[in-house]
Chain A
Amino acid sequence: DGGITQSPKYLFRKEGQNVTLSCEQNLNHDAMYWYRQDPGQGLRLIYYSQIVNDFQKGDIAEGYSVSREKKESFPLTVTSAQKNPTAFYLCASSISRGRFTGELFFGEGSRLTVL
């Protein structure tokens, strides 16, 4: 079945450590996105990529980094510069720019807790 796989589902980190969240899709979608979800705040866009080897900052990119070396993969690194990294992180994908209909396909999320 086609879909988006995020790993790990749960992750604990000590302050000062960088962590990388994995996101893989087999939907053949060009565009991929990372969102952060905090209680009562909806979803906030961190980074997005519309094509391989290109990505753009979203609304809350500070303290995060991404890469897009393959169409199927869009890993997110939460760096030690992120002041409040404890959150639920969601990866999503969509059909390519120019044909976007508003439908995003989401992974099951990764819950990061900083100890």
Chain B
Amino acid sequence: AQSVTQLGSHVSVSEGALVLLRCNYSSSVPPYLFWYVQYPNQGLQLLLKYTTGATLVKGINGFEAEFKKSETSFHLTKPSAHMSDAAEYFCAVSRPPGGSARQLTFGSGTQLTVLP
């Protein structure tokens, strides 16, 4: 069984401030981890993913996330928020390859607001 917990359903930051969105997971096997972003009234798009190898992964739009096995975390960060970052962000966990999205579990999402 696997699960994802996103701490904070709403996060507000000022433009130019650090963005930190928290994600903790549970998995009985080494996980694959993902962050997706959803802009208003649109579908989701992949922001970044961790599969194996380097634990710090970089994604699009200046975001990055670090896989910390000891803390079972995969927090998403961006050094300086931009107004265009306002969106909902979803963390997801999957079992290693060979399966399908049937094994993909999404968190409940974090709505990011960027204040001018």
- Chain B residues near A31: list those with CB within 8 A: 100-101
Interface residues of A toward B: which range? 20 to 34
- Chain B residues near A41: list those with CB within 8 A: 108
Cross-interface CB contact of A42 among B90, B97, B99, cutoff 8 Å: B90
Cross-interface CB contact of A58 among B9, B32, B102, cutoff 8 Å: B102
Please report the total number of B residues contacting A with Cβ < 8 Å: 26
Q: A97-B99, A103-B46, A107-B43 are in contact. Are A42 and B109 (CB under 8 A)?
A: yes
- Chain B residues near A94: list those with CB within 8 A: 100-101
Inter-subunit contact A42/B100 (CB<8 Å): no
Interface residues of A in 81-115 (CB under 8 A from B): 90, 92, 94, 97-104, 106-109, 111
B residues engaging A (CB < 8 A)? 9, 32, 34, 36, 41-46, 49, 51, 90, 92, 94, 97-102, 104, 106-109
